[in-house]
Every structure is written in C-alpha cells, then in structure tokens.
C-alpha cells in the first residue's frame, strides 16, 4: 500500500504535465498592455549603465591570429653612449633586407566578475614577430640584425579591464597590463624587464547608441613609455548601419554594420612595445638595450560570424614605422622622454614601411 | 502497514515536503526586468520546466522599419518575422536546488545567439542570470529585478 502511494505521489505531476508543448513560442494573444503598469517590488533599486553600445564589434574571449608583413629594409646605427665611448665600437652599422616578418598572436580574456555594478576581466596575451632576412645581409655581424634574425621579438603579458558604472550615465573604465617583451626564449624570462601600462577613463553613456569618455594613459603604444590623454567614443547612428569606435590616439575606426553577424572597420591602430634585447646573451653590445618598437597600422578589418560564437577576422593595410630606436636602460630602469625630451637614443634605426595582413579566429563574448 | 497513524504521518510529511519543494522551485515565477531596462520578462512554469517570454518592450517599434520589432537576427531565416513581444527567450530551466535553476538557455535577440544559462536567486526579488558559452567561465552575468503590478 505504502509503495503504491509513494509511486503515485512522485509520478502524478510528471504524468499530469507530460502533454505540454514547451518548445515553440507561445501565441501572442495576451494583453501585453497590463505590463505597462508593473513596478519594481524593491523600490530602492539602483540602476547602472552597461558597457554595451548597439552594434559594437564583438569583444573577444579567445583570439588566435596570424600576422604577416611584406618586405622592407632595416638600417641600424652604431651604438651611442654619452658616458662611455667603448660601446660605439661594439656594434657596426648595419643594413638588412627583410623578405617578410610574421608571427602568431594569442589572447584570452575572461570576465571573472560580471554583474550590473562592476565588470572585471582578466586576460593573457602572447605575440611573436619573426624576421626572415634575404640572403644578402650587408652587415652579418650587426648585433641587432643577428638577434632579430635568430630570435625575433615576442611579447607576453597579463591584463585586466574594469568597468565600474556609478549610475545610469556615468562610469569609470580602467585598463592595466604588465608585459614582458624582448628577444627572450621561454627559459630566459626575466621579470625585472616587465613593463606596465594603465589607462583610466571617466565617461558617460548617452543612451544605447553612444558612449563618450576622457582619461589619461601610461602607455608603450608608441614604443617607449609615455603619458597621453585619451578620448573614448563609441557611437552607432540611428540607422544602425554606421558608427565609430574610437579610443584616440590608440585606435580610430569607422564602422559599417552589414548585419548582426558581419561588419567592417576602417581606420588605424597604434601598436608598440619596449623590447628588452640581449636576453639570450647573444652579444655584450645588446645588454641593457631596449628596442622601442612603435608602428601605425592603417587598415580595413572585416569580421563575420562563422558559427554562433566563432567569428572570423581579416584585416589588411599599411604598416607605417613610427619608432624602431633603442635606449640603454641599465638593470631595466625606465625613464620618461615623452614627446619633448631630448635624451639621445643609444641606437637610431630606420625601418621601411610595408603592407600587412592579419587573419584571426575569435570566440566572442555573450 | 499496521499502524494507521504512522502511515498518516508519513503521507503528510511527503505531501508537505513535496509542496515546499514545489514552492521553492516556483519562486522563479513572476515578471522580471533585466539591468538594461529594455524588456520585461514573464517567467512561468510549463510542465516541469521554467520558461521566460518578453511581455514588454521599452521601445516596441523598430526605428528603421517603423513597425513592431521582430526577431530579425534569428539565424533561421524562416523565424525572422516572429514578433519580439511574446518571444520566449528563456527556455528549459530545471529547478536544481534552493535558489538555483539550471540546464536552460537564453536567447539574445540583439545578435541571434543562444547561450547556455543558469539562474541563481540572490534574494526573492533578485536574479543572477548567467549566459555562457560551453563553460561558465566564458560568460556574463546580468542582474534581473522582480516587478509587480502597481498597487491601486
């Protein structure tokens, strides 16, 4: 008897509901106007603006990309040291013809805290740049050319992005990163050459189509450390076809939206890092040298969804060299030159300009 | 069962626990508003699972077409004329434990993507809705607040 009762108790609700079709959308015959008069149960709720603007290019959780630059020339100078002339003889001026340079790029960004009141994202990145020189190298003994040819350059680092809304309009956006850049291998990493960047932007969200902000950044985007004011504007026009994504001066793009699953960007981005050289003890002349690599990428980008969460990204354009000089930083101690400092570079180099393309696959964020 | 009183107690306890379990599971039922305030979602129980549909839109008219909004970003072309109002965007949630509903999905009409989703009730008027891709780490949480009809 008891067994029968127990079976009946636990199976009755299942049997009673077994015929319900729950897969389709319900017919829209309800009087929806009743929901106009609903209010929050808890009247003390504080509302916040979100970080989203209509039709922005999707933020990436995981990115895998391949970067390729066409041929160009590199001319390197002798080493200069105001305190000691001995270095000037350790590196002969050099010229190298680069057939192409290329490299893999990986990035991961995970939202570790994500709610209405704050979003905290942690990320890691890796990028390498390998140089393929033509057989004819005018100065095969040049130390910079030797390390670029043999070791290339790479960057690896950690970063965080914090979006903190204060109310339905105002927010603070903070981005910080710590990167290790150089000609190192994985067994010659030295954390004292870690370089940190940070940007803080105070902004306002003006509806679903516009976000604007101003701030200050400490950045290596032009190769060497600098302090630069920044301006943020993410905007989508009422027709939902045109817009812009601007974080000036780091990147400026006009956006053309074709659909919810494809878009194009036209504009530029500044890229740069300070690369510690001589990590593999290749040459005493390179010890304490940091290569200030900064470049302007004028480009067109096409992004489209290839499945629900996977997006393909293809960009092509012109890579303009902004900086390829080198500074001597004993023990990696950084200094500030800015736009107006007159400290001489330890090595002045000239890098030609060229076309480039970058292909990538991205897992995009909800 | 020889002792009828003992049997009665067992049956009463079983009914009571079943009713409590059902009540806790049904705490999810009601009208809720996501943080962006663009829609209101009515969550209801159908069969043994929970579903949520859009019952109110802050901007019900599409500014481009000047017609009521439809699910124009749906990956299935045949469904792109389905009205957004009445659209079922939360599907197939099962009550897992007190304050937690799992195994469901959430649909984002802004991009036509469907994400795995879990719902956690922080308090009786607040939900943490987490949409994610594959594993929970690759996701985003939104806080929804309970609504009720204005008192006269």
Q: What's the CA gap between A239 and A236, in Å, rounded?
A: 8
**ipTM given for this complex:** 0.78
Contacting residues for B5 by C-beta, under 8 A, at least 6 apart: none
Instruction: List all residues of chain A from 156 to 175 with a beta carbon under 8 Å from chain B.
Output: none
Model confidence over A48-83: pLDDT tens digits?
898 989 999 999 999 999 999 999 999 887 676 555
- Give the best residue of B135, B141, B152 to mutate against chain A (max A CB count within 10 A): B141
Closest CA to B41 of B23, B58, B66, B24: B58
Q: How far is B145 from chain A (nearest CA, A)?
A: 7
| Omega within 30 of 0 (cis) for the link into A289 | no
pLDDT at A303 over 70: yes
Model confidence over B23-69: pLDDT tens digits?
688 889 999 999 888 899 999 999 999 999 999 999 899 888 889 99
Tell me, rounded to whole angstroms, the distance of Cα A107 from its chain centroid: 8
Determine the Cα angle at B109 with ends B108 and B111, to 5°: 75
pLDDT at A12 over 50: no
A308 and B114 within 8 Å at the Cβ level: the answer is: yes
Q: What's the CA gap between A260 and A55, in Å, rounded?
A: 7
Instruction: List all residues of chain A from 336 to 365 with a beta carbon under 8 Å from chain B.
Output: 363, 365
Query: If DSSP codes are grouped into helix, strand and coil, which group holds residue B71?
Result: coil
Model confidence over A179-233: pLDDT tens digits?
999 998 877 778 888 999 999 999 999 988 999 999 999 999 888 999 999 999 9
A38 and B85 within 8 Å at the Cβ level: the answer is: no
Contact A288, A330 (CB under 8 A): yes
DSSP code per residue over A256-320: EEEETTEEEEEEEEEEEEEEEP-TT---GGGTTEEEEEEEEEEEEEEEEESSSSEEEEEEEEEEE
Query: B79 to chain A: nearest residue by CA?
Result: A25
pLDDT at B91 over 70: yes
- Cβ-count burial of A11 within 10 angstroms (0-12 exposed, 13-18 middle, 19+ buried)? exposed
B73 and A260 within 8 Å at the Cβ level: the answer is: yes
Q: What's the CA gap between B114 and B35, in Å, rounded?
A: 19
Out of A84-93, A133-142, B103-112, least confident range: A84-93
Tell me what the pLDDT averaged over chain A comes to: 86
Question: What's the token pair of residue B44?
Answer: 């209801």
Query: If DSSP codes are grouped into helix, strand and coil, which group holds residue B152?
Result: coil
- Give the best residue of A6, A17, A25 to mutate against chain B (max B CB count within 10 A): A25
Question: What's the token pair of residue A116?
Answer: 């209405």
Amino acid A42: pLDDT: 82
Instruction: List all residues of chain A from 112 to 131 with a beta carbon under 8 Å from chain B.
Output: 114-117, 119
Closest CB to A25 among B56, B88, B141: B88
Share of chain A above pLDDT 90, in %: 54
Out of A98-102, A113-117, B30-34, least confident range: A113-117
pLDDT at A175 over 80: yes
For residue B53, give Cα distances in angstroms to A25, A257, B84. Answer: 8, 28, 9
């Amino acid at each position: 008897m008891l067994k029968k009762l127990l079976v009946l108790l636990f199976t009755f609700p299942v049997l009673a509901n077994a015929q319900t079709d729950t897969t389709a959308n319900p017919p829209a015959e309800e009087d929806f106007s009743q929901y106009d008069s609903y209010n929050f149960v808890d009247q003390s709720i504080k509302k916040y603006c979100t970080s989203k603007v209509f039709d922005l290019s999707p933020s990436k959780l995981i990115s895998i990309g391949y970067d390729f630059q066409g041929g160009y020339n590199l001319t390197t100078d002798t080493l200069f040291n105001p305190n000691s002339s001995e270095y000037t003889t350790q590196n002969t001026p050099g010229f190298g013809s680069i057939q192409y340079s290329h490299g893999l790029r990986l990035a991961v960004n995970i939202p570790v805290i994500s709610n209405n009141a704050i979003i905290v994202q942690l990320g890691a990145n890796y990028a390498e740049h390998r140089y393929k020189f033509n057989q004819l190298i005018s100065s095969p003994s040049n130390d910079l050319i030797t390390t670029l040819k043999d070791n290339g350059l790479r960057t690896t680092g950690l970063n965080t992005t914090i979006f903190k809304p204060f109310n339905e309009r105002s927010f603070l956006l903070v981005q910080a990163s710590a990167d290790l850049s150089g000609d190192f291998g994985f067994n010659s990493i030295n954390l004292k050459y870690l370089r940190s960047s940070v940007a803080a932007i105070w902004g306002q969200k003006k509806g679903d189509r516009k976000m604007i902000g101003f701030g200050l950044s400490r950045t290596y985007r032009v190769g060497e450390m600098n302090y630069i004011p920044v301006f943020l504007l993410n905007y989508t026009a009422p027709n939902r076809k045109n817009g812009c994504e601007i974080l000036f001066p780091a990147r400026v793009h006009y956006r053309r939206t074709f659909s919810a699953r494809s878009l194009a960007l036209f504009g530029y981005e500044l890229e740069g890092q300070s690369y510690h050289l001589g990590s593999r003890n290749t040459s005493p002349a390179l010890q304490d040298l940091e290569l200030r690599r900064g470049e302007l990428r004028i480009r067109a980008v096409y992004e489209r969804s290839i499945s629900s969460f996977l997006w393909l990204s293809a960009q092509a354009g012109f890579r303009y060299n902004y900086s390829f000089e080198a500074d001597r930083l004993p023990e990696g101690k950084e200094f500030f030159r800015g736009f107006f400092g007159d400290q001489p570079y330890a090595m002045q180099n000239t890098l030609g300009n060229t076309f480039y393309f970058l292909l990538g696959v991205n897992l995009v964020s909800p | 069962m020889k002792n009828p009183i003992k049997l009665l107690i067992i049956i009463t306890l079983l009914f009571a626990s079943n009713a409590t379990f059902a009540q806790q599971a049904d705490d999810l039922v009601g009208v809720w508003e996501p943080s962006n305030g663009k829609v209101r979602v009515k969550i209801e129980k159908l069969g043994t699972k929970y579903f949520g549909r859009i019952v109110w839109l802050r901007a019900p008219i599409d500014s481009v077409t000047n017609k009521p909004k439809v699910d124009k970003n749906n990956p299935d072309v045949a469904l792109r004329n389905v009205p957004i109002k009445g659209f079922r965007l939360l599907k197939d949630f099962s009550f897992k434990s007190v304050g937690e509903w799992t195994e469901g999905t959430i649909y984002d009409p802004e991009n036509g993507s469907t994400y795995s989703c879990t719902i956690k009730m922080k308090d009786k008027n607040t939900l943490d809705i987490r949409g994610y891709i594959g594993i929970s780490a690759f996701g985003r949480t939104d806080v929804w607040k309970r609504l009720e009809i204005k008192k006269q």
